[in-house]
């Protein structure tokens, strides 16, 4: 019997445990693992690249907006990612799909609905929440495609630029040379079709207009 490997990525142990029980309880064909952050997820995937599905919370420590999804899709393109979040904002849901998510689930849905959604994605299809129109275009679809073309290191550099770090600081944080940072910045400007690092930061911030605050609010609610 072929076992399907699913990794739950969420910083709340109780939620991970409950979701794990929902998925694997009594089903020997599903092997469920847990990761409390992206570093733990990366370690698990580097140890074994064979993974059928990652269930990713958008709001976790060390993750800003959609940067976790961007990093994961850039680094492990063959691994399907389903977002499972406390956020119900249609714009957040649409952004997730534009950035490569294979599905989106709200944390409040019932166990049968969770299993149905995951089975849908495991068969190679996309699971879209009821009432969500993925065709709605608010003018950011092209930007989403450009952001999705960034490499993992370019995503990291862009997020650090957004935090106001200079090239020397980025080089130190990533253990690379300043020349390499400059090369990454140049590539980012080209891919995002902008002329300066300030414009690149503005472009990145557009995907967080409104919804980044929504993500933080949802994370605070889940922590209570």
180-203 pLDDT, tens digit per residue, is: 999 999 999 999 889 998 888 887
Interstrand relation of 103-106 and 81-85 (parallel, antiparallel or unpaired): parallel
Q: In angstroms, rounded to a whole number, what is the distance separating the alpha carbons of residues 114 and 122?
A: 12
Sequence-distant (6+) residues with CB within 8 A of 56 are: 9, 68, 69, 72, 81, 82, 83, 84
Instruction: Give the number of C-alpha atoms closer than 13 A to the C-alpha of residue 5, restricted to the C-beta side.
Output: 10
Residue 96 predicted with pLDDT over 50 = yes
Cβ atoms of 84 and 55 closer than 8 Å: yes
Cβ atoms of 201 and 162 closer than 8 Å: yes
Residue 77 predicted with pLDDT over 70 = yes
Residue 219 predicted with pLDDT over 50 = no
Provide the pLDDT confidence category of residue 210 given band limits of 50, 70 and 90.
very low
* CATH architecture, domain defined by 4-123: 3-Layer(aba) Sandwich (3.40)
Q: Which residue has the higher pLDDT, 83 or 27?
A: 83
Positions of CATH 3.40.50.2300 in the chain = 4-123
CATH number for the domain whose boundaries are 140-209 = 1.10.10.10
Cβ atoms of 77 and 102 closer than 8 Å: no
> H/E element holding 30?
strand 30-35
Handedness of CA 96, 204, 174, 217 (dihedral sign): negative
Q: In angstroms, rounded to a whole number, what is the distance separating the alpha carbons of residues 166 and 171?
A: 9
Residue 8 predicted with pLDDT over 90 = yes
Positions of CATH 1.10.10.10 in the chain = 140-209
Sequence-distant (6+) residues with CB within 8 A of 182 are: 167
């Amino acid at each position: 019997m072929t076992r399907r490997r699913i990794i739950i990525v969420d910083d709340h142990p109780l939620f991970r445990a409950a979701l794990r029980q929902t998925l694997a309880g009594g089903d020997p064909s599903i092997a469920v693992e847990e990761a409390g952050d992206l570093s733990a997820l990366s370690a698990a995937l580097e140890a074994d690249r064979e993974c059928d599905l990652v269930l990713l919370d958008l709001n976790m420590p060390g993750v800003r907006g959609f940067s976790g999804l961007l990093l994961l899709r850039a680094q492990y393109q063959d691994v399907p990612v389903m977002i499972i979040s406390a956020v119900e904002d249609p714009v957040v849901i649409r952004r997730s799909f534009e950035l490569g998510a294979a599905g989106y689930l709200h944390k409040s849905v019932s166990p049968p609905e969770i299993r149905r959604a995951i089975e849908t994605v495991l068969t190679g299809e996309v699971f879209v929440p009821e009432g969500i129109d993925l065709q709605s275009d608010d003018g950011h679809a092209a930007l989403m495609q450009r952001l999705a073309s960034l490499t993992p290191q370019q995503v990291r550099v862009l997020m650090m630029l957004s935090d106001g770090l200079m090239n020397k600081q980025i080089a130190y944080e990533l253990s690379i040379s300043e020349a390499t940072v400059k090369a990454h910045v140049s590539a980012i400007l080209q891919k995002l079709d902008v002329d300066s690092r300030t414009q690149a930061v503005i472009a990145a911030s557009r995907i967080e207009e409104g919804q980044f605050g929504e993500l933080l609010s949802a994370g605070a609610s889940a922590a209570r």
